[in-house]
Every structure is written in C-alpha cells, then in structure tokens.
Amino acid sequence: MELVILAAGVGSRYGGLKQLDAVGPCGETIMEYSAYDAARAGFERAVLVVRPETEPEFRDTVGARIGAHLAVDYVHQTLDASAHGRHQPAADRRKPWGTGHAVLAARTAISDRFAVINADDFYGAESYLSLAGFLRDPTVSRPTDFALQGFRIGPTLSAAGAVSRGLCRADREGWLQHIVEIPEVRKRDGGGCYTEGEGVERRLAADELVSMNMWGFTPAVFEELAREFAAFLERSAQDPRAEFLLPAAIQRLITDRRVRVRVLPEAGQWCGITYREDRDQVAAHIARLVARGVYPERLRA
C-alpha cells in the first residue's frame, strides 16, 4: 500500500508553508507523524505531491525524516493542463488547480491500492489502521470501490476562523450517497454554522459526518479523475479562482454510478492547522499523546 500526501497548498490563510511547521517535541511536522502511523498500519511508500519550487525545501526538511519510516518519492502539481485538454489557465492564475488535480498528479507514481491524506492534517493512528483494513480487504474486489475515512465535524472546526468541510451523507449500509464542500464553516456551540443562498444561516450538529480528505483508492480512480478534470477545464479553465476539488469530482462519479465509496466509521482523533492559532493546539494534542506513550518523544531514527 502507498500513501499520497497532498502538500502543494499555498497556505493562504496560514501565511506560509504550514506543512513544514514543527508540532512535535523535537521539531517533528504533522507529516512525520502521518508517515509513522502509516508505516505501523502497513503502508510502505509515501508519494509527496508538491509544487516544483517547493520540492527542495521538502527534501531538505521532512524528506529524509519520513524516509526513516517509508520510502519517499515526489511528484509535481503544476498549472500545466495540456495533458488533459486544450484549455490552459487564466494568465492571472496563481493557486494550484485543487485537491482533485493533486491526486491526479500522482498517477505516474502509483501502481497499487493507495491512501490520500492532507499534509497538514493529523488523523490519528487508528484512522490509518481503519483505512488499511479496507485496502487489504479481499472481499473488496471491484476496482471502483473506494473508501472515505469519516469524522465528526465538531472537533474539526477552528476557533480561529472559518474552514472548508466536506459534508457527507451515507446510506444504512455505509455507502456514501452525497458529499458537498462547504467553504466557510464556523464553530458554533460545539457544532458549526454556515451561510447559504440569500443569507440563510444553517446550523450543523457536532456529530455531522464530514470528510477530512482521507481516502482509499485503487488506480482505477485516475482514469475517472482525468475525465472529470478535462470536463472541468472546458467549463472553468479561464476562471483564476476555480478549483477541481476531490469531493465534487467524487460526487459526480457517485451520481453517475461509476464508483462506490464506503464511509468508514470515525476511528482516530483528528486535529489540524488552518490558521496560525491552530498550531499550538495541535502541538498540545501531540504532547499529550507522547506523554501517554502513543508516540516516542523523538520520532526520527
């Protein structure tokens, strides 16, 4: 099994490369804990999706440290879309194409079942065991059967400001029916709230099911995403703010009955960094886990 780590984000809300900020007692990044947990769950290789200009910095910092637990390769997410259609980005586009395109960028480096995670999200060791169990399950024989690790929305919201969350609905058998990305969800009374339409406020209970971009796929997903990305370019290539988001692409594939996605029950405790104020909370969470013996004080070999 392989682990694709999405690390090409620009960190606009954070103001820098939050993927490389230290959160562990000996300067470890979230990615190092992710690699450590993934290796213990049976993953053997990590593929980091980065921007070309940031690869040297990733190699010089976390690359060797992750390499103590997993083999490491790098792929680039760029604005060049020539392999997927005749449309090129708007001249003033600066940000990457989005999470769906980031997964697609790993296509040449992946040959077997794999997981996808965000570089700046700490998912907990149990989440990797849960996802690895699905990827290893011999009864999952359809190449277009995928998995999504579920989380409750309450603990994923930031007191520092609004965040994007993928709201999910599963059927009684645990298959994903609907997923939609909500871009501005705010913490409210243990749950969340957001505004839609004509200024209508919607409340979200703390136990609402959300995606935190932790997925299990087979290589069959790449052909599906390539088709969806080409259609996206036809619609939105000249919009400098448009993004090809993984939840939206997966929703279209579910609607068209081209894939199925099993929602795995929440297993680990998530925390992550959107704003600078979030970093101290993540560091405190990891410190508690180190104190309990879940992680060694120093992860590096």
pLDDT of residue 35: 96
pLDDT of residue 13: 61
Rounded mean pLDDT, 260-284: 92
pLDDT of residue 183: 86
- Burial of residue 107 (CB within 10 Å: 0-12, 13-18, 19+) is middle
244 pLDDT exceeds 80?
yes
Q: Kindly tell me the number of DSSP H helices and DSSP E strands found in the chain.
A: 8, 13
11 pLDDT exceeds 80?
no
User: Lowest mean pLDDT: which of 111-120, 142-151, 192-201?
Assistant: 192-201
pLDDT of residue 299: 87
Q: For residue range 165-179, what is the model confidence (pLDDT) as tens digits?
A: 999 999 999 999 999
Identify the structural domains of the chain with CATH numbers, from first to last. 2-148+212-259+273-291 (3.90.550.10)
Rounded mean pLDDT, 182-198: 89
pLDDT of residue 14: 61
pLDDT of residue 16: 65
Of the pLDDT bands very low, low, confident and very high (cuts 50, 70, 90), residue 275 is confident
β-strand partners of 146: 261
Terminal C-alpha separation, the chain: 22
pTM above 0.85, yes or no: yes
How much is the mean pLDDT over the chain?
Answer: 92
